[in-house]
Structure 1
Amino acid sequence: MTDAVSPASPSLSRPVTVDIPTLLGFRSDGPDHVEWSRIRAAQLFAGRRMALVLLSANIAAVLATGFLVRDSIPGWQIATWSALLAAIAVAVVVRRLAVPRTCEDEASVRDLRKTGWEGLALGIGWSCVPILFCTHVPSGTTAGLGITLTVLMTAAAFAMAPLALATLAFLGCLGAAMVAQLLIAGTTSAAFGILGFTLLLMVWCISRARALVLIRANEITLNERDETVSLLLREFEDTGADWLWETDAMRRIVRASSRFAVACGLAPGAIEGMPLLQLLAGPSWESGDFAPELRTLAEKLRRRESFRDVRVPVTINGQNRWWDIAASPRFSDGGEFYGFRGVTSDVTEIRASEDRINRMARFDALTGLPNRLMINETLVTTMAEADRWSGRYAFMMLDLDRFKAVNDTLGHPIGDRLLGRVSERIEGLIGDGSLCGRLGGDEFAVIVRDASDIGAIETLAQRIIDTLSQPYDIDAHTLYIGASVGIAIGPRDGRTAEMLVRSADLALYRAKDAGRGVYRLYEPELHVKAEERRILEMALRTALENGEMHLDYQPVVDARGQTLVGFEALLRWTSPRFGAIAPDKFIPLAEDARLIAPIGAWALHTACEEAARWPSEIRVAVNVSADQLQNPNFVTTVTSALANTGLSADRLELEVTENVFLSDALGATEVLERLLDLGVRLSLDDFGIGHSSLGYLSRTRFSAIKIDRSFVRDAAAGMREAVAIVHAVIALASSLDISTTAEGVETEAEHRMAQEFGCANVQGFYFGSPMPAEQARALANGRWRASAAA
């Protein structure tokens, strides 16, 4: 349907308004969507038609004035004035007659403004009469001149009214001159009379000009409507895109185009007299099972009101179609209702496109599941419905474990197919009262509308974890992933969709911290911890620049000679607000907040700068995060630290943990190789407690392996498993020409065990706790003996 023929089209039903600035030509367009260029042309055309009347009035007034002042004013003055005024009048008339002979053209604002100068010129010419002549003539002649001028003003207001700006300029100039002359002469009452008369003529002029503009604007609008309707009617006949119809007061079709009948699948004469609603309802008319849209149409017809864009489903020859209907009621001159006249369009393709767009906006293209938008809409609806009957509902947030490794190693196409298989498994577990969708990436969500049985919700969560943990066979690959689930129960855990989603997210975070592959319910303390974490992160962002971080250094000692071989630099944070914060608390936070790179770079440079002050045989070890090694620029960071501090590369030892190799696809191994090429030493920290693999040792040239404290303690206590592990690690390292360091040595027994098993170096409180840089420097530059350290 086009707006031009719609019964409720605003451009046809809303009256045109005319404001004074646009009427006078001070503004190009008025508040309505009308063609003001054509209206201005109509104003100029109306002025053209009255041009000769204006010229006649001026000549008559000139002759009358000359006759009245012939005995009081020198003839040459009268002749000069008359010639000048006649020339002005003729010039104005010539300009008016130059306007095109039709009002269908267009005119600019500039064209309309020029008429103001014409009126001003005439006004100045006539202002000479009260200013120059009236002061030199008898009182009787003055009265005659006043009558002549008032008649001229009246005639000008009539002849020049279409051009309001010119008329106002003429009346204002001449009226002001007359009022000034009367005031000078002391006739105040007459002056006020002329002032009122002038203002009255101005108001009448504006009113008449506005009436002319309104008439012309309505003519333009009606002509456009007639042209549009005619064009559309011709289009109806040519293309059959839309169909016209009429009904009587009983809503029976009394007049319809033949194309409308064909569109209905009936003969042209068969629809005459058929109720419109029956025609549209089709087979459902007998059963009374009408579509909601058809009931809406029936209600509008019953209320006898205009309507548009009412879409109803129809069935034509067994095919489902969508029609768009617009209509307006018809009334007689006496106000009697006698039916509707309307237009119908087939919008089946438009509706199908809208459905496709709506699906694209609310469904995930990869899995076909509802996307984040639809999940949020469904959650809001579920919460509103549950609030009406005080029910409970649940929101589950799922995160796939180890999915990133699949993407990194096998590529995104395999990852995408895996996501499709995951979505199929989740859908197979969800009942009719639930909805599952994909939030994005490897995150999914499940909405359970009835969560009155918490046990059933937990059972569903465990079934999801168990099902998603089963192997997947994709393109000759057998893939193993898992899932972690966070659960929030409403309204207890959130009375808005945002709060409930946040609660489920916190519960998911807790499930990941618990080792993944589990589900966790939201608990109020999770919010408290999340808030503490947020505040701590804000403090961490400014800790480095505020000088709140420092390095402590723990000695590393030769196990047999008991000589100092180096220090391990340990990062410490002392906050003015929170005090000393443990590294295992703020370092993961720095990694999550992507602050580890600047903090790590500072720690590396500071450690190298301090080590440069030690003897050349003393090394410094610095811990490196997996996130740092995923950045190829980390090599530049190390090179810069060594170059700026003058520390030899072989005196720097970088400690990495086994989780570095879980991100091997991101280039961690390549970065390590480039670091080794610089001459930097590399040690594997906490060996045995993570994802230990002999492949790490074969792919990377480690200088040292650090045996975790838990094995050192248990082996010293005589635990058989720990003894076997320590023996195996030392033997493996020795065969690969890799040094070993026993961590966490705190007792004499643990020291003896490290010596007997063949550890190269030892580190722990038994030889020295982490100490400030000044103390470490003094220790490095002095003589080290184990006895002295003890």
Structure 2
Amino acid sequence: MLRSSPASALSDGERLAMLDELEQSGLGWFWASDATGHLTYLSGAIASRLDIPLADLLGQPLTRIFSGANREGRGKSLSLMLAAHKPFSGLAVRAARRPDGVVLRLAGQPLFMPDGRFVGFRGTGSDITDEYHREEETERLARFDSLTGLSNRHRMAAQIDATLTAFQAARRNCAVMMIDLDRFKHVNDTLGHAAGDELLKQVSGRLVRAIDRECEIGRLGGDEFQVMIPDVDDRGVLAELAMKIIAMLRQPYSLADGRCVIGASVGIAIAPHDGVTRDEIVRSADLALYASKNGGRGQYRFFSGELENETIFRRRLEQDLGTALREEQLFLRFEPIVDAATQAVRALEAHVCWKHAERGVIDEEEFAQIVEGSALTGDVGKWAIFEACRRAAEWPDSVRVAVNVPVPLFLADNFIELVTEAVDAAGIAPARLELEISEAVFFGEASVVDRTLASLFKQGVRLTLDEFGSGYSSLAYLRRAPFDSIKIDQKLVAEAERHDSREMGLVRAIVALAGAMQMDTIANGIESAPLLVALTDAGVRFLEGPIFSEPVDRDTVEEEMAGGSWRIEPGAERTRRARRRTVFRKIQVIHDDYAYEVTLRNLSKTGALIQGLADVPKGTQFVVDLGGGQLAVATVIRSNGDVQGLEFEQSLIEDGAGGLCTRNRVSPYALAAAGAPLAALAPGKFLGLDQGAAIPKFGYAMPARSEVG
């Protein structure tokens, strides 16, 4: 009876043939090294797979042939494994000469002589390239946004957490920006989600190009982006970067379904000033973003301690808007639009204001910020059209009323009926109602937009294309729609005044275009006499702005119209009214290790006016504590009794909200080291110095109670 031979009975030749077949099949690859880590054996199949001649590999150190393939430096190190003389497995490596090529998984077993002497490694290898790339893609999707390739919410959170933890120990600064796109939802709704996705890709590309410094950029979802910028606390630098981002993102986008324009709002917070942990700093940046959107969009805003109360108050105002409509708390102010040739008032633009029960009068500028994006935008627009027509019925027939139409109201199914009803109820000619329509309406369904415009034209209502020349105007709009006039974008008019060359050339081109199409032109926001002359010389027919008049109430209009007409001579002394903010507030100024409480009466980029110290000589230097770690070195340049005029050593910068701030702030780390924050110190005390012997060098002359805000 025949018996099969045991495996151990195979000849050396048979065993070598089996090993060779196994290597050639790809099921098992082998390698070996000597005691110094140099390669002594490698399966020919591995060399072929690596596309490197076997002769170039043998005799070389393993660490020179292979490099780790673990992502982001995680995992085991080949050099450490070899040096430890211990078994290892599952080590992912690449050929050092082919870093983007094949990925292998190595396992090794140390070999020792009977006397314990180490003589090298024997090991196996396998090709895991496909598996590795699948895992890499899965991991990438877990950390990066699949649409834009930017970091996703989870990766941004981890990066900010790690950075702030490390920076806290090193006492370093880190800025976080929150960026939200303006009008993105409208593009998504009108052009479709595919266009919205393409738009987000283009936005991401522009963000990467705009920020030319070390940073981490992420998309948190939807149209919200986040940027982390390490080692920057200069608010001047951050303001310039924010303005650059806003400018780049508002340029036109070319999509498969057409062109579109959006905007961006930016909120900025800086660690450790505005928070130390990720939750704190992101919340601060979020509050700043919310404030920038409420400030009119297309703006940046730094976080400040007052923002939380401001945010709560603004939300309450939005909630109160429904009550304002029901209880007739809204009213109109009217801004004259003047004929350039005769200075006669030909139209009055209606602005909605609010007489709030607790806040008092909320002017047209602040009201526009509150209502933008509100669910009641359309209702407010409807009320404005009815009220404007009713007031126009009280004026001479030669004067029109202009009303800005919110996009949602224009696209509403019953808009035509609403306009007809408003005109009929007031008993005025349709031509006396002038509807100012934003180019944003053309993002809506073309058939609806064209039908609405045609119906309004048929009624005889005048149509004005608003904000023309804002950087994305299309001649197609003018060809499609029966506009009576073009309103030149106010920002373009302002640029024309500052630069007076290329921008004024654009104004003249717009006037020529309007003339060729038998349309009038309107320029608004005019404050200076030179700009007025330039616009008149350029051929602009109608003019509007503070140089003629700020918006006025109904009684003033009736009084001026009493003679049947209203002419306004431009006044060179007129300028746009500054936003009404509290002028008087208490601050501290520091001199020779003493801190004094004074009243800040006004503030500019280059200096301030303070009240409360007597007998202060000119040339005295103060450190002005503006709060929140904002210290400005200043010199007294004027002194009159208890009032001093100060000049700052370094100019303040815009804070993005119409206010001013210092470029840098005293670090909370420095304040903590000194023992207490400046805000906690009483008058007559200064950081860490001997408080008991302090005798003020200046006398106090406290301002009257009514002057202190």
Give the TM interval when normalised to the shorter protein: 0.3 to 0.5
User: Which structure shows the bigger proportion of residues in helix conformation?
Assistant: 1
State the TM-score, normalizing by the size of structure 2: 0.46
Report the TM-score when normalising by structure 1: 0.42
Tell me which protein shows more strand as a share of its residues. 2
In our comparison, the structure showing a higher alpha carbon Rg is 1
